Amino acid sequence: MSRERAVIHAITGASGAPYARRLVQVLAASGVRVHLTMSSAGARVLLEELGIRADPAQFDPRLFDVESDLVTYHRPEDVGASIASGSFGASAMVVLPCSMGTVARIVHGVSSNLIERAADVMLKERKKLVLVPRETPLSSIHLKNLLAATRAGAVVLPAMPGFYHRPTTLEELVDFVVTKVLDQLGVPSDLIRRWGKAPGR
Ligand SMILES: Cc1cc2nc3c(=O)[nH]c(=O)nc-3n(C[C@H](O)[C@H](O)[C@H](O)COP(=O)(O)O)c2cc1C
Mean pLDDT by 10 residues, the chain (201 residues): 81 98 97 98 98 96 94 97 94 98 98 98 97 98 98 98 94 97 96 76 50
- Residue 4 has a pLDDT of 77
Cα(125)–Cα(25) distance, rounded to whole angstroms?
A: 27
- Atom index in ligand 1 nearest the CA of residue 38 equals 27
In this structure, how many other beta carbons lie within 10 angstroms of the beta carbon of residue 14? Answer: 25
The CB of 142 under 6 Å from ligand 1? The reply is no
The CB of 134 under 6 Å from ligand 1? The reply is yes
- Residue 110 has a pLDDT of 98
Separation of 145 CA from ligand 1 center, angstroms? Answer: 16
- Residue 102 has a pLDDT of 98
pTM of the model: 0.96
Cα(67)–Cα(29) distance, rounded to whole angstroms?
A: 10
Cα(128)–Cα(119) distance, rounded to whole angstroms?
A: 9
DSSP 129: E
**Domains recognised in the chain with CATH numbers:** 6-185 (3.40.50.1950)
DSSP 178: H
Separation of 45 CA from ligand 1 center, angstroms? Answer: 8
